[in-house]
Amino acid sequence: MNASVESLTSTGLLHSPQFIPNTKSILTTYMKFITKLKPLLLGCLLSPALAWAQGGTSPAATSLTLEQCVDYALENGAAVENVLLNEAIGEREIRANLSGWYPQISASFGGSYNIKPQQFPVGDQIVTSAQRYNSNLLFEANQNLFNSDLLLASKAARFSRLQLDQQITNTKINTVVEVSKAFYDVLLTQEQYRILNVNLVRQEKQYNDARSRYEVGLVDKTDYQRAAITLANIRSDIKRTQEGIKAKTAYLKQLMGYPIESDLDLVYDYELMEQTVLVDTATVMEFANRIELQQLQTQRQLLELNTAYNKWSYLPTVSAFINYNSQYYSSAGLEDLYNKAYPTSVVGLRVSLPIFQGMRRVQNVRIAQLQEERLDVAIEDTRKAINTEYQAALANYKADYTDWRTLQSNLEIAQEVYDIIKLQYDEGVKAYVDLVVAESELRATQINYYNALYNLLASKLDYQRALGNIDINP
């Protein structure tokens, strides 16, 4: 390239007018290039930020289905997080309890100054039995060979972990049910809000029509006054429902562990919701599916181990030990204390057997057996309570299903009645009070229908929980 420049310079072409660069043209071309490149640069800069935001734990305003809300709650809900922390704590406690099976190594250091060393006579001599300065450094290792406390910890570890897992399962079941109910509650309240707004538009038109008829002298003023009262009541209901949506959404966010500052939009297909209300009421209940009974059975196994532990207390505790003790003596002063060591080392076996403890072990065994009997009573009572819960949930579901189907039929009838009376009122056949009554009945039937749908969905969840059929796998 340098050779090319030199050749151009030598020929004088580089300094000719056609080779002098046009600065303005270059700047214009450069700015056009930057303008075209700007979207690409912004995309490169914003892509990592967007990717981080999507992968973070604080989602932006998002439309979530019921399944997504439940999955989010199982990952971020406070109740689930707390029970997972309890599991982590419990695992550490298990490991701490089992650590006694490992060698226990310790070291100790001591020093003393004998103000008045012990003396005793030997013949006609007075012999001093101790040096004025003493010190020792001891290393010792102990290994448990048999210990009832450690044996209990070893056998109970598996059941303790199972108990922690069951607590997580129970918490997740409650989370699924509570989040689902809160989701339905918000969604159906939003539907009530929509219904009220539709009624508001219709009532405003009726109010304007009634006032116009009064102004031209076709009717008296009571028609549009009634319309005004109804209109004010609808607006009041809309305000109450609107505030209720905010409170119920906040409760759903709390259950989900959803960020307060982020908006939450719910998505659901009402036709699909109506299709999912059906459940097999002929399903036979299996007590073994209930997590509450599983937890009690695990507790029963732990109590059996506790009874065995109290019986093991009659057995000796056996451990092996080895130590190394370095001793130092001096009668002159501290500066000579560590000049010479007198080491000793011991290895041995230690067996400890409590012979009589005032019948305490007998009482502890009996207490453990009584605790087992008490838990058996609790297990049987829980079985009866589960059966009662199942029967109540099944009865509520059947009753709510009947109410829902009845209101589903009533809704069609109320709509038809309103349409007929509205047509007759427009033709001057029916009085305005009949239209107001039909309007109120239609609105009440619409709201009652969605309330019945919510009650049915909630009853279905209670029935599934009573059966032990709640799915907690996200």
Residue with tokens 């003393």: 112
Q: Which helix (H) or strand (E) holds 93?
A: helix 78-98
Indicate the Cα dihedral angle 445, 446, 447, 453, nearest 10°. 100
Q: How far is CA 88 from CA 57, 84, 370, in A?
A: 21, 6, 31
**Confidence bin at 203 (pLDDT 50/70/90):** confident
Query: What mean pLDDT do residues 228-250 have?
Result: 92
Residue 136: closest CA among 394, 400, 327: 327
* Per-residue pLDDT, 51: 36
What count of other Cβ atoms lies within 10 Å of the Cβ of residue 326?
16
Domains, the chain, with CATH or none: 1-38 (no CATH), 64-101+147-315+357-467 (1.20.1600.10), 103-146+317-352 (2.20.200)
* Per-residue pLDDT, 474: 59
Query: What mean pLDDT do residues 121-129 have?
Result: 76
**Confidence bin at 185 (pLDDT 50/70/90):** very high
The overall pTM is greater than 0.85? no
Among 55-64, 125-134, 280-289, 328-337, the range scoring the smallest mean pLDDT is 55-64
* Per-residue pLDDT, 399: 96
Residues 439-448 pLDDT 10s: 889 989 999 9
Asked if the model's pLDDT at residue 30 lies above 80, the reply is no
Query: What mean pLDDT do residues 23-42 have?
Result: 42
